Structure 1
């Protein structure tokens, strides 16, 4: 890729409102094409994957996250931050330095980003602060960014209809059960009813975090709360007692521009592409070196090593922005595909969180009955890999939680693997994979401690070899893999309770 094209990308970064020097490839960088190279094989590409290279990239990525310290007071790669712009730069310039093996494109799109600087929720008087209380992503601040006071009022049903909000909600802090509709809808209805803030409590196990999504003038400052912390107050309210409450959020919500990066091999059949992706951003709360630095860096390493080989089918890599804000980048990318371009993608593979410290080998349970035909064949490829390497695996729901969602909704077969997020490892899983039962697969999920020290290098290398295997298999041949027959989703249209890794319902 010529330096002039990288400079064009730099101008888009500046247009996004952040100036940051780009690392440009040398003008003398050797051209790297697939001409005269051996055809890629799974064994060869797997052998090129080394945990040392992955760790070196992770250390660099963490240094990039630190560029956000002046604005966020800690490392982060959330969209709109200097850490994320530097991440995009690193991905782009690395691929550009590989010569003419790839064609790189970038998509700039509008996104909404928020930052919560401080928050505090007190319930029941006496300064009682529930431990699980958290501010929702994209929440507006409390009035004048100061504390607001009012009685806690239990909203009827799931708070998804204006009639669920009685007249006593005016001037109160609305207490709303999770379910049926989005967090944003609940917050807006509470605001319309005159609440000064809202608390959405979980109806399942664990804490509750989420995003309000597209900003609304009716949104009020909104918190999430675990079921365990909410139950004592629910009992008091149902018994007719008054529960005093105090809420405070200092936050901003703003529109920005951010960027997807897509790289496609110049060799191989451009009518039959194997595509894989990872998200380049983190949450605001931390640097996201596992989530999803591990996936992004694996793609970058596989893309680098692939240049040693030729391919029969084109390989397309995607690094999505705005996943943590609700799958924004991947949604935008697929929505912009023409029917013809959609049909060229034979399958999409999602790689999100590959190095969780308390890992399990998780395979999305993507069946052809519920998803575009070919999804199950991809699932079985992952299973066969783990079995052939004497590794255990578990199947996890294919429920729309990550960037594969837009692809399968547009008829593209999909699947992927993961090493685990906030789910609790069972005793059986500890026997299968080692680690600690009763703890999260990633105890630093969406937290400040998701640093280089949060990576399980053995799991990361194994999963990166599986990514290499998946790329090499389909770059070599689609023999036996179902043909694409439609760009419309073949799924059953089951409602998803996820949009991105944050609950919206």
Structure 2
């Protein structure tokens, strides 16, 4: 993966509650905080046990191992995961549907190459396909495939960069006036989507495209990103500001650029399961993405959320809800929340307005975990109430927790953009654990929450059983709380604010500009 923003960052610490009159306990095998006379949501939460959840993870691992080490959407490993989840839910009595949709599939078949031929020979370090360790350059998602060996031609660069991001390099067709067909276009990041820059370059006859970071603080390193979908046929890579500046001068620099990619449309599915009982005008929805990246089996990201949600659904099957409960396992999240976006976009407005809230669970068993609850203060009305419900659970167990931004980087994004209250849990991805978090949660400060994030080592060995059990208990508690509520958050679904609808999200580092 590229040098990207961590999926979330702890921003506000919520202290554990003072001692409560009931005695709550936590066992590694599961979270237990209910007595026989306890409310059903507490009893349900106490029934969640790590061995049962891990059985689902072991199945996901088998599907990946048998199918090239991946469960990415558009691959047999994902299809096997989909069929397993759907069969379990049908057996439990849910109304199950698999929602098919087309999506743009992308993979690098082999590692890209980039070298300066003249005026001096330089070989640049590539970012291997699926790697979270960046080299000197990285192939942009949906880049074309081929080899360009040509002069580098700068396109409307702003050097030195201005204090604020402002480069419009390559954003307009007229930027390429005088461009020599066959050259490699050197373009600066900024203002418009990468796809616009690459498309304009391709139309002008460029044999390849090098986009370099803009140069302001925080925008200097090698980066990766997405072109949004198939359509670009020439190689497109991202490099650091320093490399871009070096290639811009002297003139007549010759570079050899090679990418080997597959960029096509494929079909995949969401899995949706609905309770047969409950008020259909008050739908409580919970989801997790089922797909992995191509580079690995995705057992923490996001087998953990998928397995926890599945176990909760199976245990809830005998609990008569007051409100309709709908569970979702999303496809193609790793390419930009495509499954959840398809679902929300194709849902009739009348049905969308019945969804009172959405709960999201993405990476709930990180080995160097922190208990993170999405900050509802920035979400649609009702989101803060969801955050408080999760906080109550951790407070019952006297476990510390921190808040984390509700910034659209997982499948809750399309729901909050539609004005639906949302919340959820997360234990950290490629971000670095702070010393304060080490004091609160243990583990190692200065290390990633999940060192195997988006890697081949994201296997069943990459799970913290305690975090998995605690968070699955929290899923059970929250879903049951709202399923049994007379008045769950949400009420009416407001239209999303224009600013929210127009926000450019970084889905797993999938920068588009």
Give the gaps of 5 or more residues in structure 2: 1-36, 127-134, 158-166
Offset from partner CA, 1:4-58 (integer Å, 9 cap, x none): xxxxxxxxxxxxxxxxxxxxxxxxxxxxxxxxxx997221111111111122211
Which runs of structure 2 are paired with 1:450-469 in the superposition (5 Å)? 450-469=458-477
- Give distance in 1, aligned partners of 2:50 and 2:498: 37
Match of 1:189 in 2: 200
Q: Which structure is richer in relative contact order (CA contacts within 8 A, separation 6 or more)?
A: 2
Is the contact made by 2:417 and 2:501 (CA closer than 8 Å) also made in structure 1?
no
Are 2:329 and 1:325 equivalent residues in the alignment?
no
Q: Could you say which residue in structure 2 is the equivalent of 1:14?
A: none
Residue deviations 1:137-167 (CA, integer Å, cap 9, x gap): 222212xxxx321244444224323344464
Distance 2:54 2:145 in 1: 39
Match of 2:88?
94
Following TM superposition, by how much is the alpha carbon of 1:197 offset from its aligned partner in structure 2, in angstroms?
1.9
Q: CA deviation at 1:261?
A: 1.0
Question: Could you say if the C-alpha distance between residues 446 and 492 of structure 1 is closer, same or farther in structure 2, counting changes exceeding 3 Å?
Answer: same
**Aligned mates of 1:62, 1:268 — CA distance in 2:** 34
Do structure 1's residue 173 and structure 2's residue 167 form an aligned pair? no
**Cα gap change, 1:355 to 1:140, in 2 (>3 Å):** same
Matched with 2:261 is 251
Map Cα deviations across residues 223-246 of structure 1 (whole Å, 9 max, x no partner): 233x4xx41x23434553654422
Secondary structure of 2:144's aligned partner: coil
Q: Within 5 A, what are the aligned runs for 1:304-383?
A: 304-367=314-377, 370-383=378-391
**What corresponds to 1:403 in structure 2?**
411
- Separation in structure 2 between the aligned mates of residue 207 and residue 84 of structure 1, nearest angstrom: 31
Structure 1 residue 297, shift from structure 2 partner? 1.0
Change over 3 Å in CA distance of 1:182–1:265 after alignment to 2: same
- Counterpart of 1:77 (choices 71, 74, 91) is 71
Residue 119 of structure 1 is aligned with which of 111, 116, 119? Answer: 111
Distance in structure 2 (CA, Å) of the matches to 1:268 and 1:39: 22
Counterpart among 221, 227, 236 of residue 222 in structure 1: 236
Structure 1 alignment gaps of length 5 or more: 1-37, 70-74
Q: 1:320 to 1:242 in 2, by over 3 A?
A: same
Residue in structure 2 matched with residue 139 of structure 1 by the alignment: 143
Q: Which residue of 2 aligns with 1:128?
A: 124
Preserved contact between residue 148 and residue 235 of structure 2 (Cα < 8 Å):
no
CA root-mean-square deviation: 2.4
Residues 255, 392 of structure 1: alpha-carbon distance in 2 compared, 3 angstrom cutoff: same
Cα separation, 1, equivalents of 2:367 and 2:187: 34
**TM-score, structure 2 normalization:** 0.81
Distance in 1 between the 2:318 and 2:414 partners? 32
C-alpha spacing 1:317/1:202, structure 2 compared with 1 (3 Å): farther
- Over 3 Å counting, the alpha-carbon distance change for 1:401 and 1:385 in structure 2 is same
Tell me, yes or no, if the aligned pair for 1:152 and 1:172 is still in contact at 8 Å: yes
Deviation of 1:86 after TM superposition, in Å, equals 0.5
Contact 2:364 2:471 in 1 (8 A): yes
Aligned residues: 449
More helix by share: 1
1:412 lines up with 2:420 in the alignment: yes
Aligned equivalents of 1:461, 1:336: Cα separation in 2: 34
Aligned to 1:212: 227
Instruction: Indicate conservation of the 8 Å contact 1:40/1:310, yes or no.
Output: no
Q: Distance in 2 between matches of 1:169 and 1:437?
A: 51
Task: Answer whether contact 2:421 2:489 (CA < 8 A) is retained.
Answer: no
Cα gap change, 1:348 to 1:97, in 2 (>3 Å):
same
**8 Å contact from structure 2 (residues 145, 233) kept in 1:** no
1:424 is aligned to 432
Distance 2:248 2:500 in 1: 37
Partners of 1:212 and 1:365 lie apart in 2 by 30
Structure 1 position 495, deviation (Å): 4.4
Cα distance in 1 for partners of 2:371, 2:190 equals 30
SS of the residue aligned with 2:376? coil
SS in 1 for 2:301: coil
1:200 paired with 2:214, answer no
SS of alignment partner, residue 329 of structure 2 = strand
